[in-house]
Amino acid sequence: MIELFNDREIDAMRPAGVFVGEVLTALRAAAGVGVNLLELDALAAKMIAERGATSCYVDYHPSFGAMPFGKVLCTSVNDAVLHGLPYDYVLANGDLLSVDFACSVDGWVADSATSVAVGTARPEDLALIRTTEVALEAGIAAAVVGNKMGDISAAIGDVARAAGLSVNLQFGGHGVGRTMHGDPHVSNDGRPGRGLPLKAGLVIAIEPWFMHGTDEIYTDPDGWTLRSADGSRGAHSEHTIAITPDGPLVLTAR
């Protein structure tokens, strides 16, 4: 079911968005050569506890997951491109790390993701990260009353194609509110002028994620982590936004 939220409810979502942004800012600062993925997860868990928030990931068990996720972050490194389950891995110079984080504050959810090059960055990785960021900006700009969902998707896909990238359509953005994943689905490619009419009060996560050399993925033996089929690296950018009469409101700005 697609929900539309009133101004009071969207205001109530703001603390969750601010907190998610704060956690991702802290994680970007903490991620560096020699840092273990489990340390990053522990940092986020500590911030959740101190804030009195609730993780959306620990007990999360959708049909595509092998078991409840069990951690508070998705940490995807290099060819791990989405849903990376944190494990005992120490970040190395030149790694490409994507971090996805969602939590609930006072019963309202926010969801956001960011990618960062660890240590000495590869120029092609920086370009890939920037492409996801530009695509996110384009998708947000299209999230206005009177447009269609296809306008958001097409804006994202146009940026990917301009960079010479293909787009995986298995996973994309989604509705956000009292739960982390709801309707509608927000594809990372589509046709302008098609699909759901965008109305004030719709709250969605827009999340472009691209890979260097393919649009095909497979599931790691851990039952969660998605990896590129050809071993190429991926990057991921995401914000939770509310569509308002005055334009898109980024709830997870940082």
Annotated binding residues: 83, 100, 111, 174, 181, 207, 238
Residue indicated by tokens 């990931």: 57
**Structural contact between residues 150 and 252, judged by C-beta atoms closer than 8 angstroms:** no
Closest CA to 80 of 236, 237, 186: 236
Report the distance separating Cα 202 and Cα 6, nearest Å.
Answer: 9
Residues annotated within the binding site for substrate are: 83, 181
Closest CA to 224 of 110, 90, 80, 123: 80
* H helices, E strands: number in the chain: 4, 14
Residue 248, CB-side half-sphere exposure with 13 Å CA sphere? 23
> H/E element holding 113?
strand 108-117
Residues annotated within the binding site for a divalent metal cation are: 100, 111, 174, 207, 238
CA–CA distance from 45 to each of 14, 52, 68, 70, 145 (Å)?
A: 20, 11, 16, 11, 37
> H/E element holding 100?
strand 96-105
> H/E element holding 249?
strand 247-250
Q: What secondary structure letter does DSSP report for 170?
A: S
